[in-house]
Amino acid sequence: MSILIGRNTRVVVQGITGRDGAFHTQQMLAYGTKVVAGVTPGRGGDRVHDVPVFDGVAEAVAATRANTSAIYVPAPFAADAVFEAADAGLQLVVCITEGIPVRETLRVWHAVAERRARTGRPRLVGPNCPGLITPGQSKVGILPGQICRPGPVGLVSRSGTLTYEVVQQLSQAGLGQTTCVGIGGDPVVGTSFVDCLELFEADRQTEAVVLIGEIGGNDEEEAALFIKRHMSKPVVAFVAGQSAPEGKRMGHAGAIISGGSGTATGKIAAFEAAGVPVARIPSEIPGLVEHALERRRRARRARPARAA
C-alpha 39/C-alpha 88 separation (Å) is: 12
Torsion angle in degrees (nearest 10) through CA of 185, 190, 194, 196: -90
Active site residue 252: yes
Coil, strand or helix: which one is 203? coil
- Which 3-state string (H, E, C) describes 89-126? CCCEEEECCCCCCHHHHHHHHHHHHHHHHHHCCCEEEC
C-alpha 140/C-alpha 36 separation (Å) is: 12
Q: What CA–CA distances, in Å, run from 266 to 34, 213, 269?
A: 42, 12, 5
**DSSP letters spanning 230-256:** H--S-EEEEEE-TTPPTT---SSTT--
What does DSSP assign to residue 239?
A: E
Instruction: Residue 21: name the closest of 54, 48, 57 by CA.
Output: 48
C-alpha 124/C-alpha 139 separation (Å) is: 16
CB of 140 closer than 8 Å to CB of 9: yes
Which one of the listed residues 24, 49, 110, 252 is annotated catalytic?
252
What amino acid positions are annotated as catalytic residues? 252
